[in-house]
C-alpha cells in the first residue's frame, strides 16, 4: 500500500471523530501562519506578519513575501506544536491553503506541507482560502451549523455566499471590479496613509464626518453584487480637485465618507440577501470584517430584521491558519478527497 492509499484509510478512520489534531498552514499573502486545531478548538494559532517589511513599498511585494515565508515557516511549526503542547507524532492530518493568492507565496506553504506529509506519512488536505475564511466562524461560534449566509470581504474577494455545506457554497453576489479590502488599501494610499489601508482608514475616519458625496453603485437594483472602482475613482477625483484648487483635503472626512459607503454596500446587500432567502444567520468573514463601523452597522441592521449576525473576533477575520485547519475538519467530515502529493498552488482558485 502506497502513501495515497494509507492517507485515504487514515482519513476514513478520522471522519467520525472530532478529537484529532490538524496542523494547518497558510501562506497565501503576507502572513506566514501555522495552527493546531482539534474539532472546533484552537490549540495554537501562530502568525508571522510581514506588514512591517512591505510597508515601505506601499503594498505586498510578491517575491519578498515568498522569501520571508521560507524564512519563517519552520520556526512557526515548532512554536505552534509547543503552544499546543503536542509533538509532530501526535498530529493526525495536515492542511494547507493552495489557492487563491500569490503564486510564489502559496508555493512555500504547499511545498512545505507536502514534504512534511510525505516524510511523516500523514494525510494532507488542500484548502481553498475563501472557504477557510468562511470556516473561521465555526471556531468563533461553536453552535453554528450549516446552512447560513456568509458576507465575505477581504483583500482579494467580496462575495455573499449561500453556505449549504463545506462542499456546497454558492455565490449569490460578488464584486464587479475591486474587492472591498483592495479599495480600502487604494483609498488609503491616495490619502497618504500606510499599508495595510483598512485599519488606517478606520482610525482616520474616527475624527471625520460622512460629508463627501460618493456614488452608490447598483442603487435600487435587484442584485447582491458590489462595485468599488467608482467609489475609489470618486475619492481620487475629489482629492485631486481639492489639490488643484489649493484646498486642504480633510482626510478624516474623506476616510469617514469612504468607509460609510464601502461598508454600507456590504451591509445592505447582506441583509437584502438574507431577507430574500429567508435566512436567519449572517456570518461575517475576511479582513474587512475586522472593521468596527461594519461590525456595528451589520449588527444593528440584523437586530432590526431579526437576523443573527455572527462576528468572529478580529484575529479570525484577517488571515490565519486556524481557519484553514477548521476548513480541513469539515472537508474531512464531508468525505472530500484528500490532497495527493501532486497538489499544486493555484493563484486564481
Minimum distance, C-beta of residue 138 to ligand KG4, in the bound complex (Å): 17
Report phi then psi at 110, rounded to 5. Answer: -65, -45
**Which CB, 202 or 319, lies closer to Zn ion?**
319
Longest dimension (CA), the chain: 75
**Which residue stretch of 51-59, 151-159, 215-223, 328-336 sits at the interface with Zn ion (rule: CB under 5 A)?**
151-159
**Which CB, 227 or 291, lies closer to ligand KG4?**
291
Q: From Zn ion, ligand KG4, none, which one binds at residue 291 (CB under 5 to 8 Å depending on kind)? A: ligand KG4
**Which residue stretch of 90-98, 222-230, 276-284, 313-321 sits at the interface with Zn ion (rule: CB under 5 A)?**
313-321
Lookup result for grid cell 449569490: 172
| Total residues interacting with Zn ion, rule: CB under 5 A | 2
Q: From Zn ion, ligand KG4, none, which one binds at residue 137 (CB under 5 to 8 Å depending on kind)? A: none
Give Cβ neighbours of residue 201 (< 8 Å, ≥ 6 apart).
Answer: 184, 187, 188, 191, 193, 255, 258, 259
Site for Zn ion contains 154 (CB under 5 A): yes
**Which CB, 265 or 327, lies closer to Zn ion?**
327
Site for Zn ion contains 319 (CB under 5 A): yes
Q: Which residues bind ligand KG4 (CB under 6 A)?
A: 29, 154-156, 181-182, 184-185, 196-199, 202, 286-288, 290-291, 318-319
Minimum distance, C-beta of residue 22 to Zn ion, in the bound complex (Å): 19
29: closest CA among 58, 68, 57, 1?
68
Dihedral over alpha carbons 318, 319, 324, 327 (to 10 degrees):
30
Cβ atoms < 10 Å from Cβ of 246:
6
Report phi then psi at 333, rounded to 5. Answer: -55, -40
- Cα–Cα distance measured from residue 226 to residue 169, given in angstroms and rounded to the nearest whole number: 18
Q: From ligand KG4, Zn ion, none, which one binds at residue 202 (CB under 5 to 8 Å depending on kind)? A: ligand KG4
- Bridge pairing between strands 158-163 and 21-26: unpaired
Q: Rule CB under 5 A: which residues touch Zn ion?
A: 154, 319
Amino acid at each position: 500500500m502506497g502513501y495515497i492509499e494509507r492517507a485515504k484509510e487514515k482519513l476514513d478512520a478520522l471522519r467520525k471523530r472530532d478529537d484529532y489534531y490538524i496542523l494547518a498552514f497558510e501562506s497565501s499573502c503576507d502572513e506566514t501562519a501555522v495552527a493546531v486545531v482539534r474539532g472546533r478548538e484552537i490549540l495554537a494559532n501562530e502568525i508571522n506578519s510581514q506588514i512591517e517589511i512591505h510597508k515601505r513599498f506601499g503594498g505586498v511585494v510578491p517575491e519578498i513575501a515568498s522569501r520571508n515565508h521560507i524564512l519563517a515557516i519552520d520556526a512557526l511549526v515548532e512554536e505552534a506544536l509547543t503552544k499546543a503542547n503536542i509533538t509532530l507524532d501526535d498530529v493526525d492530518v495536515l492542511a494547507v491553503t493552495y489557492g487563491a493568492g500569490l503564486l510564489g507565496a502559496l508555493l512555500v506553504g504547499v511545498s512545505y506541507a507536502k514534504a512534511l506529509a510525505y516524510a511523516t506519512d500523514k494525510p494532507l488536505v488542500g484548502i481553498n482560502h475563501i472557504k477557510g475564511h468562511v470556516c473561521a466562524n465555526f471556531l468563533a461560534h461553536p453552535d453554528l451549523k450549516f446552512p447560513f449566509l456568509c458576507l465575505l470581504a477581504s483583500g482579494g474577494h467580496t462575495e455573499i455566499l449561500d453556505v449549504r455545506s463545506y462542499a456546497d457554497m454558492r455565490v449569490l453576489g460578488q464584486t464587479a471590479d475591486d474587492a472591498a479590502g483592495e479599495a480600502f488599501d487604494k483609498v488609503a494610499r491616495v490619502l497618504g496613509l500606510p499599508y495595510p489601508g483598512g485599519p488606517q482608514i478606520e482610525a482616520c475616519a474616527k475624527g471625520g464626518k460622512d460629508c463627501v458625496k460618493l456614488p452608490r453603485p447598483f442603487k435600487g437594483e435587484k442584485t447582491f453584487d458590489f462595485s468599488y472602482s467608482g467609489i475609489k475613482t470618486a475619492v481620487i477625483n475629489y482629492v485631486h480637485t481639492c489639490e488643484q484648487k489649493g484646498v486642504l483635503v480633510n482626510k478624516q472626512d474623506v476616510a469617514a465618507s469612504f468607509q460609510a459607503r464601502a461598508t454600507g454596500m456590504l451591509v445592505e446587500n447582506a441583509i437584502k440577501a438574507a431577507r430574500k432567502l429567508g435566512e436567519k444567520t449572517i456570518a461575517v468573514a475576511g479582513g474587512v470584517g475586522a472593521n468596527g463601523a461594519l461590525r456595528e452597522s451589520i449588527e444593528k441592521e440584523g437586530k432590526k430584521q431579526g437576523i443573527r449576525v455572527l462576528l468572529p473576533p478580529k484575529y479570525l477575520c484577517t488571515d490565519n491558519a486556524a481557519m484553514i485547519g477548521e476548513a480541513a475538519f469539515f472537508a474531512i467530515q464531508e468525505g472530500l478527497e484528500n490532497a495527493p502529493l501532486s497538489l499544486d498552488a493555484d493563484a486564481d482558485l
